[in-house]
Amino acid sequence: MNTIEAHIQKEHYTTSISNGKNKIIADEPIDLGGKDEGLAPDELLCGALAACTAITLRMYADRKEWKLEDVKVNISLKVDKANGVSTFYRDIELIGDLDATQRQRLIEIAHQCPIHKVLSNPISIETKSL
């Protein structure tokens, strides 16, 4: 199990996020009181899905030795507070010498990325105070 630590002090709302080896910064936009020095938490969530999708497609195409030159994944998130449903919108651009069957297979494989699976299944969050 991976462990990620987020650390925020009194600085509004710059947060250091680390896995113990690598570090990124999260923040809120200026209009929400932040300094806009990093991605907002919802953007990080979208980024996790986008990165996982791109990596999964790259790995699959490499194993198949397909001529996939570039993958671009755009994710947006709409949260409908009225009904409690969140919807991710994913656009995938596949650049390379691929036929229609290969392109369709890559779109199917996008649904197999680990983050897609986590977000598509029931989630439980257990919280404790230290």
Residue ranges of the domains in the chain?
A: 1-38, 41-120
pTM of the predicted protein model: 0.93
Give the position of tokens 């195409």. 61
- Here the tokens at position 101 are 């069957």
For the chain, the average pLDDT equals 97
CA distance 81 to 85: 7
84: left (phi over 0), alpha (psi -120 to 50) or beta: left
Angle (nearest 5°) at CA 63 between 58 and 68: 45
d(CA 19, CA 53): 21
- Helix 100-110 and helix 41-64, axial crossing angle in degrees, nearest 10: 140
Share above pLDDT 90 across residues of the chain, in percent, rounded to a whole number: 95
> What's the number of CA atoms in the CB half-sphere (13 Å) around residue 30?
0
Residue 2: pLDDT band with limits 50, 70, 90: confident
Q: Which residue has the tokens 């651009």?
A: 93
Residues 41-120, CATH architecture: 2-Layer Sandwich (3.30)
Inform me whether the pLDDT recorded for 66 exceeds 90. yes
Tell me: pLDDT of 70 over 90: yes
The answer to whether residue 1 scores a pLDDT higher than 90 is no
Name the amino acid, one letter, at 14.
Answer: T
pLDDT digits (tens, 9 = 90+) for 87-127: 999 999 999 999 999 999 999 999 999 999 999 999 999 99
